[in-house]
Structure 1
């Protein structure tokens, strides 16, 4: 994601290599894990443009920081999970996140104020997610649709009183592959915007694409439409592409 953000808007293709703990970007792009299949995909050189996002906040040292993210950023419970998973990621892999969630079943809530493209909304919850790609571990989608090419951020407020109320709702999404899962206003509420400012009382710790920042709310986030060009599989084109969207990387000489 850091590389894609650095190259945002240049049209230079990037192929994510799934060598991390959860490999969420590769998962969302329907990329293969096997090296020969990855090499074949790279040689084919099919590319699609996807949205990126940008988060801006003030670090604990007072300096302003601006970071890019491709999957999601947020504050509160998700940042707690990311931080709690760090020590056991090598040993447990993706299960480290589930273990961290269960180890923090009663996270504090905050009064959350959202400014969505200039309109103010007030909520209360365990945390908030700013979503571009929506799939996380265990094939869970935190929004009803995975829409990383629509020029909008999905803003998800986690409103359950505790993790025991929230986790069943998230896992319901994992088993409902038809997109029929309906948000419960007592558990999850979703908004959309191009830009969002997030404030919380008490403040919540911030994370972006799994990196826990040395900072707390407030923060701002905005969408960067079609800013990242990824080398993708044919399955990814079927999932996200429209006719004529796919391009070829410069190392190929075929017509798309």
Structure 2
């Protein structure tokens, strides 16, 4: 039986030394070493590599983390992440910036579009979730992705990204509630990307997602409010392997204060 992991210090990491030590501690685990030895990895970060639910230059708690403190923390986290993860030279960080979105091509079989939904996103103001001027990808990444999907010739097209893409309503009945950290909080951009995938006829589109510590298989619908509408793509949401995963009774994660979700969401539309 593995003992609970005890982290250095009594708080989250903030300095490059603290982030390096956290990565080194994880890399010391035999199971993770075996996984790296057995398989090639294509990695991209989400929020917890720096701070929970951060958005571009905005931390989760700006009242407790002034902007200059958070940006120094972001630069430290990026440096340690690059040093400890299998990334190309093109991803060497420059202060608070790190190039992470990229395309991995496997002949005419598969294109994997590795996305970054953290560095360029608008603030997570749920009152503005329908505002077409807000973004989760940023203009440059969105245009890059649209062009690749339109011009691709591979049999399969994967979008490897961080947060829930399909619509996920947490409230039964006519009322609705959504996560402020997922694509549901950036509806026009999400729906525009979905419609573009359909319009250009991208072959076998699959969205690969993490974040919610539970497994889902979702139909990405042409109209999320109409379950009978056409299915544009499939979303596969992978569970966590270390924290609140698909163990019996563990549940997934919804908005703060919401009841636990089932560990398995067999289909969502």
How does the TM-score come out when normalised to structure 1?
0.29
- The one of the two structures with greater contact order (alpha-carbon pairs below 8 A, sep at least 6) is 1
How does the TM-score come out when normalised to structure 2?
0.28
- Which has the larger share of strand? 1
